[in-house]
Amino acid sequence: MSASQKFPQSPGNELVSAQHAIIGNPTTAKAGDFRRTDHPDARWFAGSLGLFVHWGISSVNGTGDLSWSMMRLPTGDRRVRGEKWGLVSIQQSFTPNEYWKQAAHFNPQQWHPDEWLAAAKAAGFDYAVLTTKHHDGYTLWPSDKSDFGVQTHLPGRDFVRDYVDACRRHGIKIGFYYSPPDWRLARDHMSYGKFIDGSGTEQAVGVDHEPIDLAKVSAPDPAFEARWNAHVKGHLEELLTRYGKIDLLWFDGSSQQAVTLEELRRLQPGIVFNERGLGYGDFQTYECGFPKQRPTGWWEYCHIWNDGAWGYLNHETYRPTGWMLGEWAKTRAWGGNFLVNVGPDSQGRLPAVAYRRLADVAKWRQHLCHTLAADVSPGPWPAQCNAPVTIRGAVWYAHLTLAWDEAEVVVNNSRTPRSVSMLKDGTRTPLEWEFQGDVLRIGICPEWRGVLLDIVEIDYGQP
């Protein structure tokens, strides 16, 4: 967790990049030698659709995100968020001590992961990723290495076990999100934001948002570093030995001094993990911003379906199903995985709108799932087509996303198509097209468009 580390910039999202700098996502480039693309237990990953589940004690109030809502908001933040998102998405700022008090009221009585995993399976999701511990330090499993979690506040409960068992019942691959940073453990060694005082001086703040001397609290402390390393290593050993075979580990913050690749592989030989813990991994992660250039190798794009925060907010606003399908289409057109997030409330329930969205996806997939399946190939978008393209054999599928608003699909390809059709709602409608000078033009009338994801099928026949 060295202050001299360099941190990646998440494309198109300054807030995400700033948060990554705080939690210490490293960028050491060693990934090529370690990816498990040839391991039989890892091959499931490529081309999969994932459900991210952010859940924890912040859901008690439902007015601030996991962990980040304990940071003091800088002056002007409410105005900026209000102008960008609307007042509904402005989150409350808690002091860390106020935030942690939510643990006393976190007692889910309707935590039934079978319900939302069954809906996810019906919608075609392949894997799920649950926040076993976020930066706030609260563990959803009874850890012997922590003094803050279900083992201290809800004896006898193990939400991770319930989740793992439900995943297996529904044939969904099991993913664990784990944050090595622990802001409760580090409360005497860090700042919870900054503000400008009346004299114009920038001040760092502590657990009650009181001014602190940042130079003193952040000074190197070998004893604390050793304690933190043991804390992280102990957590990972518990998570990777107590629950049988685990398919994916989703790091969110540096763990470079606490655990090694070899130790992870020894505990779970076939597991895949992202690069945000060790600086290298089996796949790259892009958060809340589609990559600006096509990645190489395995990669994953994660985003928030429940708009406004990763965790539960009591206004329960979810982005349209068409948005989700469009982001997934873009990701598959570049050969990646899409991981879309939902947030259960303090009782463990997903809101009705989340189930409606999942049902919409299931209905869309009844007729069109083949265009985004794991066995399609990435297409030449945007180089040869102005809409995201996937390919199966001699057929190209151009995906007209919710945001796609052009008069025609344009394809640069030297071959003349055999047929061109629009696929929507289980129907196939022939389209008029012209082909001249290796350019195919397919006219699209606005009234033909739906609110989900429309597909233009271009069948080139056999060469």
Instruction: Check residues 316 and 99 and name the one with the higher pLDDT.
Output: 99
Instruction: Check residues 13 and 226 and name the one with the higher pLDDT.
Output: 226
Instruction: Check residues 150 and 258 and name the one with the higher pLDDT.
Output: 150
Whether residue 120 is predicted with pLDDT greater than 50 in this model: the reply is yes
Q: In three state form, how does the secondary structure of 311-364 look? A: CCCCCCCECCHHHHHHHHHHHHHCCCEEEEEECCCCCCCCCHHHHHHHHHHHHH
Whether residue 29 is predicted with pLDDT greater than 70 in this model: the reply is no
Of 15-24, 91-100, 157-166, highest mean pLDDT: 157-166
Q: How far apart are CA 303 and CA 327, in angstroms?
A: 9
Tell me the average pLDDT of the chain: 90
Whether residue 33 is predicted with pLDDT greater than 80 in this model: the reply is no
Cβ atoms < 10 Å from Cβ of 255: 27
Per-residue model confidence (pLDDT) at position 315: 86
pTM of the model: 0.92
Q: Alpha carbon 54 to chain centroid distance?
A: 9
Cβ atoms < 10 Å from Cβ of 284: 21
Q: Give me the domains of the chain, ranges plus CATH numbers.
A: 14-369 (3.20.20.80), 377-459 (2.60.40.1180)
pLDDT digits (tens, 9 = 90+) for 393-410: 999 999 999 999 999 999
Residue 73: pLDDT band (50, 70, 90) is: confident
